[in-house]
Amino acid sequence: MAYNRTHDWLTRLPKVDLHLHLDGSVKPETILELALDQGIDLPVYNKEGLIPHMRVGEECGSLIEYLSKFDFTTRFMQSGEALERIAYEVAQQSAEHNCKYVEVRFAPQLHRNNGLTVEETIHYVVEGMKRGQRDFGVRAGVIAICMRNHSCESNLEVIRAAAAFVGKGVVAVDLAGDEASYPPEWFREVFAESGRLGIPVTIHAGEAAGAMNVYEAVTNLGAVRIGHGVRLKENSDILEMVKDRRIPLEMCPISNIQTKAVASWDAYPIREYLERGLLVTINTDNPSVSGTDITNEYRVLSDRFGFTEPELVRLVMNGVEAAFMEESDKLLLRLEMEAEIKDMGIQ
C-alpha cells in the first residue's frame, strides 16, 4: 500500500539522526521532575512556562543567542542518574519517530559541577542509551564534545576518556560552541591527540563562520564528517574537496535557520548541495532548543523544497552511509530500513 507524503508517512519513514545534542534534547516535563528531585528552584512550575527558558523562537538572531539556552538545562544534568535518564529518553523520543539509529553528543566537561569525572559522565550516557536500545530497539552511538571555550587541557581530557570508550558506546569526538570567536586552528593540538588515539572526528564548521573553517577541520583536525557546513557554498574549491573526499555534512535545517547560518530558507543550500553531489544528511541538532523533531525536519524540507519520496529516502540513506558504525552493523541497519521502506510502497 502506498502512503501519501503526509505527516503520518514521514513519521513512519525509518530514519537516523547523526547530530543531536543531549543537553538540547531534554523534555520540559523531565526538567520539572529533576528540579524537584534535585531541590533546584525553577522560575515556573509548569511545562508551558518552562518552554521559553529552553527554546529559541523565530526571533533568535545568532548562534551565540541560541547557545545561551543551554545554561538553563545543563544545571539539571549534573548527576549520573539525570544523564542516564535523559539519554534513555532520547532513545524513547527517537522510537516515536521511527528513528532507528541515533548519535547522541554531549560535552562531558559541562556535567561536572557536582563532582562527576569525565569518564563517569560518559559511562552514564552510554548506559542510558543501552537501556533505551533494550526497551525501544533504537541503536545508538555517543559522541564526546570538546568545547571551543574550554582549555586545551580539559579538551584533551575529553579526547582521552572518549578513546577509552571506543567499542563500548563512544563512536567519535566533536568540537562545538562559539565558532566565530574560536577558530578551528586553535584546536590542532587537541585533535592531534584524537588522531594518535585513532578516534573518528566530526567538527562543527561552516555554521557561524565561513568555508575556510571546513577546510581547516578536514585538513588539520582530521574531521571525517562536518557538523552543518552550511557556509561551504561560499568557496567552491573547498566544496569540491569535501565532495571528492565523500565527507558527509550533518545538516540541521531548523537550527541552521534559527542560528542565522543562512539568512532565509531561500538561501538554504540543501538542494544545491545534493545536485552538486555532496553527501548531505538531515538531523535535528537540538530538538528541545529548536522546537523540532526528526520528522519535522523532513516535513519542512519536503514542504519548502518539494523533495520527492525517493529524494527523502536518499537523504535518509545518506545518513546510514555516514553513520559512525561498523560496516557489518551498517549493512544490517540498511537492510532493515530498506525492507521497511519497501513495505511502505516506495522503490
Ligand X SMILES: O=c1[nH]cnc2c1ncn2[C@@H]1O[C@H](CO)[C@@H](O)[C@H]1O
Q: Which residues are annotated as a binding site?
A: 19, 21, 23, 177, 204, 285
- Compose the 268-297 pattern: x for residues touching ligand X by CB under 6 A, - for all others: -----------------xx-----------
Least gap, CB of 21 to Zn ion (angstroms):
6
Least gap, CB of 254 to Zn ion (angstroms):
12
Span from 18-26, 41-49, 52-60, 273-281 in contact with ligand X (CB under 6 A): 18-26
**Rounded to whole angstroms, how far apart are CA atoms 32 and 38?**
10
Question: Among the options 179, 207, 297, 309, which is catalytic?
Answer: 207
Question: For residue 125, what is its C-alpha cell?
Answer: 550516557
Return the beta strands (E) in 191-289 as ranges. 201-205, 223-228, 249-251, 280-282
Which is nearer to Zn ion, 205 or 242 (by Cβ)?
Answer: 205
Return the beta strands (E) in 107-217 as ranges. 139-147, 170-176, 201-205
- Compose the 24-53 pattern: x for residues touching ligand X by CB under 6 A, - for all others: x-----------------------------
Contact call for residue 106 and ligand X (CB under 6 A)? yes
Q: Which residues are annotated as a binding site for substrate?
A: 21, 23, 177
Which is nearer to ligand X, 158 or 199 (by Cβ)?
Answer: 158
Least gap, CB of 215 to Zn ion (angstroms):
19
Cβ burial, residue 112 (10 Å; 0-12/13-18/19+): middle
**Rounded to whole angstroms, how far apart are CA atoms 55 and 287?**
9
Q: φ, ψ for residue 147 (rounded to 5)?
A: -100, 140
207 classed as catalytic = yes
Which is nearer to ligand X, 30 or 255 (by Cβ)?
Answer: 255
User: Which residues between 261 and 300 bind Zn ion (CB under 5 A)?
Assistant: 285
Least gap, CB of 63 to ligand X (angstroms):
6
CA distances from 79 to 86, 91, 114, 127 (A): 11, 19, 7, 13
User: Which residues between 225 and 264 bind ligand X (CB under 6 A)?
Assistant: 255
The residues, any chain, with a CB within 8 Å of residue 192's CB and separated by 6 or more, are none
**Rounded to whole angstroms, how far apart are CA atoms 283 and 2?**
25
The residues, any chain, with a CB within 8 Å of residue 275's CB and separated by 6 or more, are none
DSSP 322: H
Contact call for residue 23 and ligand X (CB under 6 A)? yes
**Rounded to whole angstroms, how far apart are CA atoms 311 and 289?**
27
Question: For residue 204, what is its C-alpha cell?
Answer: 562543527
**Rounded to whole angstroms, how far apart are CA atoms 92 and 90?**
5
Span from 101-109, 134-142, 150-158, 266-274 in contact with ligand X (CB under 6 A): 101-109
Number of residues that bind ligand X (CB under 6 A): 18
Q: Which residues are annotated as a binding site for Zn(2+)?
A: 19, 21, 204, 285
Interface residues toward Zn ion, by CB under 5 A: 285
Interface residues toward ligand X, by CB under 6 A: 21, 23-24, 63, 67, 70, 105-107, 110, 145, 176-177, 204, 207, 255, 285-286
